[in-house]
């Protein structure tokens, strides 16, 4: 049963990638229905697989794919964001002339993100990551502007640099341990013959995946450009899936086999995490473009995840898994809200917006929920994951929670500024005819917003799961 679910979790989006373009040639409405159906089946498969893995302790394998508790949790997050993005795309991208290619690339990206989460083979992991990078880079081009072209170029250049670092690290790992399976490497690394080379290899791979994850300083170069210029449903996937799954892969390759042997690497990783938290939030505060602000915020939130990887304890694993879910829901929601605002007004500069609370009340409430959960306001999910992040960071050093507090204050300030400029202040003359988004755009927004509230009102659903996984 679990093997079938494991195969379906990656097989269904792969089938969707190759069938939806052909269905689109026959009927556009049938393409939309099938695309949503494929993603719904993927999500259900992932949820059932996660339930059996976490609650019943079943661990399954199909070929080089391996479903454990952490990986099934992550693929459920991927599938949920994928479903929201696909539903949103059926209206947001309906006037695009290349929808068949769009759905092929979107499903290919989702399938590779799921595959990356499910493998411990570092060569296959690399293949999944690079395939996802290429497909997402082409999707960024769907902005069809000079800025989108520039963003794609910068994204690819930095990604290639990161890929080279990871590839060198993989070759070094193989030369050291004569294995490409992380579980085999983990058994060998406890007593390495060349510890300095092992540590250097780990740092190379950390930096390579750090580029993909949007970690400072690399994320400042490519991430705001790519996330801002991509279509909003793709921005949702880039921020909620790509950077977080890259960080998850970083944790598997670096933390899983290495941290037990090298205490110094913890502080290297933790330092990059803290810098990303502070610098990302500071840049977000200075930004006036709504999507670029959210992109810089992503760098800050990824900093929390990288910090938790650096802490390297059972509690920090629980904390970063909880934060992966909270950030995926919140940032996916916020990018979709931003897309809705752009779709309805044609504007993305917050200085040109205003008064939309009365014109777009559903979008306003949803945006508030997404912002408030990232700030950590109760009774939303982010309040509980934030407390866990604070508690876990203190396990490495008692002063680390101070950096989290500073980041939270800056996060509150830039979201407060955005909320005032977009929704509260006097509405500009050109926006007096603005109205709420079409229902199809509202559905995924409401799904994500409601989940944030439910998980906040019943926190044991998530907190219990992540603690079980870490245990």
- What are the distances in angstroms from CA 12 to CA 45, 86, 234, 372? 9, 14, 20, 34
Report the C-alpha gap between 387 and 404 in whole angstroms.
10
Contact 230, 139 (CB under 8 A): yes
pLDDT at residue 190, rounded to an integer:
61
CA 142 to chain centre: 20
Report the C-alpha gap between 343 and 441 in whole angstroms.
10
pLDDT at residue 86, rounded to an integer:
95
Report the C-alpha gap between 272 and 302 in whole angstroms.
10
Mark out the alpha helices in 289-399 (DSSP H runs).
Answer: 290-311, 314-345, 356-359, 361-375, 381-393
Report the C-alpha gap between 170 and 280 in whole angstroms.
29
For the chain, the residue count is 471
Stretches where the chain sits below pLDDT 70 are 1, 56-58, 143, 187-193, 255-264, 471
Report the C-alpha gap between 151 and 155 in whole angstroms.
6
Closest CA to 39 of 78, 83, 77, 8: 83
pLDDT at residue 435, rounded to an integer:
87
Closest CA to 56 of 67, 42, 66, 41: 67
- What are the distances in angstroms from CA 254 to CA 173, 208, 274, 287? 11, 11, 18, 33
Task: Provide the 8-state DSSP code for 430.
Answer: G
pLDDT at residue 1, rounded to an integer:
67
Task: Provide the 8-state DSSP code for 376.
Answer: T
Q: Which helix (H) or strand (E) holds 66?
A: strand 65-67
Q: Which residues contact 450 (CB under 8 A, 6 or more apart)?
A: none
pTM of the model: 0.94
pLDDT at residue 102, rounded to an integer:
92
The token pair that represents 283 in the structure block: 């840049």
Report the C-alpha gap between 207 and 84 in whole angstroms.
31
Terminal Cα distance for the chain, rounded: 24
Neighbour tally for 22: CB within 10 Å = 11
Spell 233-265 as b/e; 16+ CB within 10 A means b.
bbbbbbbbbbbbbbbbbbbbbbbbbbbebbeeb
Helices (H) and strands (E) counted in the chain, each on its own, are: 21, 2
Spell 141-173 as b/e; 16+ CB within 10 A means b.
bbbeeeebeebbebbbebbeebbebbbebbebb
Three-state DSSP at 177 gives helix
């Amino acid at each position: 049963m679990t093997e079938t679910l494991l195969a379906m979790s990656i097989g269904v989006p792969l089938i969707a990638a190759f069938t939806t373009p052909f269905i689109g040639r026959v009927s556009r409405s049938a393409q939309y229905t099938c695309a949503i159906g494929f993603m719904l089946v993927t999500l259900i498969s992932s949820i059932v697989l996660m339930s059996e893995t976490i609650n019943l302790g079943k661990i399954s394998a199909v070929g080089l794919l391996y479903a454990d508790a952490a990986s099934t949790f992550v693929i459920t997050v991927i599938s949920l964001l994928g479903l929201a993005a696909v539903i949103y795309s059926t209206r947001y991208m309906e006037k695009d002339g290349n929808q068949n290619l769009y759905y092929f690339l979107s499903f290919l990206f989702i399938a590779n993100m799921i595959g990356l989460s499910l493998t411990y083979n570092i060569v296959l992991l690399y293949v999944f990551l690079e395939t996802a990078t290429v497909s997402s880079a082409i999707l960024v081009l769907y902005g069809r502007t000079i800025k989108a072209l520039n963003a794609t170029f910068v994204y690819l250049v930095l990604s290639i640099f990161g890929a080279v670092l990871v590839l060198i690290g993989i070759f070094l790992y193989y030369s050291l341990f004569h294995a490409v399976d992380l579980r085999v490497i983990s058994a060998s690394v406890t007593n390495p013959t060349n510890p300095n080379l092992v540590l250097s290899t780990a740092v190379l791979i950390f930096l390579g995946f750090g580029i993909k994850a949007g970690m400072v300083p690399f994320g400042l170069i490519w991430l705001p450009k790519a996330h801002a210029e991509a279509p909003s449903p793709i921005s949702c996937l880039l921020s909620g899936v790509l950077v977080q799954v890259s960080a998850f892969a970083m944790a598997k390759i670096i933390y899983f086999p290495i941290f037990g042997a090298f205490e110094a690497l913890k502080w290297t990783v933790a330092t990059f995490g803290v810098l990303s938290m502070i610098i990302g939030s500071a840049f977000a505060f200075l930004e006036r473009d709504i999507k670029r602000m959210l992109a810089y915020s992503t760098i800050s939130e990824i900093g929390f995840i990288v910090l938790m990887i650096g802490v390297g304890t059972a509690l920090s694993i629980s904390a970063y898994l909880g934060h992966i879910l909270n950030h995926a829901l919140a940032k996916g929601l916020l990018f979709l809200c931003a897309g809705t605002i752009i779709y309805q007004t044609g504007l993305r500069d917050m200085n040109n917006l205003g008064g939309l609370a009365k014109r777009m009340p559903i979008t306003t409430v949803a945006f508030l929920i997404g912002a408030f959960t990232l700030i950590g306001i109760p009774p939303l999910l982010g309040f509980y994951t934030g407390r866990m992040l604070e508690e876990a960071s203190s396990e490495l050093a008692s002063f680390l929670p101070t950096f989290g507090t500073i980041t939270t204050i800056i996060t509150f300030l830039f979201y407060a500024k955005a909320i005032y400029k977009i929704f509260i202040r006097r509405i500009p003359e050109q926006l007096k005819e603005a109205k709420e988004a079409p229902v199809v755009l509202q559905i995924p927004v409401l799904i994500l917003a409601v989940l944030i509230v439910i998980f906040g009102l019943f926190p044991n659903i998530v907190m219990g799961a992540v603690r079980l996984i870490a245990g």
